[in-house]
Amino acid sequence: MTTIFGTSDILSAPPRLRVRSRFVDDVDPGPGFPFESGLPTTVEQTLELLPTDGFSCWVRDTSGLIGFGRTLRIRARGPERFTELSDAWKAITEAAEVEDEVDLLGSGLMCFATVAYSGESAVDSIIHVPEFVLGRRGGRVWLTSISTAEEPPLPPILHAEPLQRVRSARAEAGDLDPEKWSRLVEQVAAMLTPIDTSAEVDAFADDPTLRKIVLARDEVVTTEEDIDVRAVLGALNRSYPSCWTFDIAGLIGSPRSCSSGSRTTE
């Protein structure tokens, strides 16, 4: 079955998704119970139960959402990518049948999304709808199934596999070495003008030419063994427990601007 769509495909014939969310922390192990040996009690135990790849997550401390499997993925590029993805998602939600016994933030129909900064980017902006979502909030644990089938599918049994931490790694500068980075910072600093008065604040707010400057540089890390993404996410979660740690379509991070008091991701 095709699971990757452009936004025009979705708008012309939105799939009819059937969604069911139910608690799994108050049921006995059996058909539909996803854990091999009871509920995990720590972040590390939860990570060990995930496949080594092919999953998505959005977690903070011990709460959040983890998706695995794929029901569909929507792609968009260009300057209208936000609008196109938003319209496609609206069409999907309007066509969906949702049975939500949980009624918590993150239950019911949901998706993971990552959108390119630039409208000229050659990288796809993506909405990813997993087949299953494991959620935890306020001490409760639930499972959501999302599919096109008449009956909700049974989730796979999640077996624990120890996290494989990197034993040795070598880091090198990427496209920007320290000297090039310093020059770039100087160039950007020269573009910034202090704002001292309310009139200057209003003038800046009305100026469409410059809204935001983002500086970033890459590093190339070489290891002798494959990198276990689960271990990377666990390390980020431990180091920044008040930030949202995420893995969406290969984009991994735990930015400070994505902390519990912020609604934006940098």
Domain range list for the chain: 4-165+226-258, 169-223
DSSP for 28-97?
-SSTT--BSSS---SHHHHHHHS-SSSEEEEEETTEEEEEES-SEEEEE-STTHHHHHHHHHHHHHHH-E
Instruction: Kindly state the average pLDDT of the residues 164-182.
Output: 88
What's the Cα-to-Cα distance from 209 to each of 196, 202, 204, 213, 253, rounded to whole Å? 20, 14, 9, 11, 29
Which pLDDT does position 111 carry in this prediction?
Answer: 96
In the sheet with 140-147, reading across from the earlier edge strand, the strands are 97-100, 18-23, 140-147, 132-137, 63-68, 55-60, 245-248, 251-253
CA torsion sign, 89 to 90 to 94 to 99?
Answer: positive
pLDDT band at 266 (very low <50, low <70, confident <90, very high): very low
Higher-pLDDT residue of 256, 164: 164
Instruction: Kindly state the average pLDDT of the residues 219-233.
Output: 90
Residue 52: count other Cβ atoms within 10 Å of its Cβ. Answer: 14
Nearest Cα to Cα of residue 71 among 28, 125, 115, 18: 18
CA torsion sign, 55 to 146 to 124 to 80?
Answer: negative
pLDDT band at 219 (very low <50, low <70, confident <90, very high): confident
What's the Cα-to-Cα distance from 41 to each of 12, 45, 46, 134, rounded to whole Å? 44, 7, 8, 14
Q: Residue 263 pLDDT more than 90?
A: no
pTM tops 0.85? no
List, for residues 46-70, the tens digit of each pLDDT value. 888 888 878 999 999 889 999 999 9
CA distance 21 to 16: 16
Which pLDDT does position 26 carry in this prediction?
Answer: 75
Instruction: Kindly state the average pLDDT of the residues 229-238.
Output: 91
CA distance 167 to 223: 8
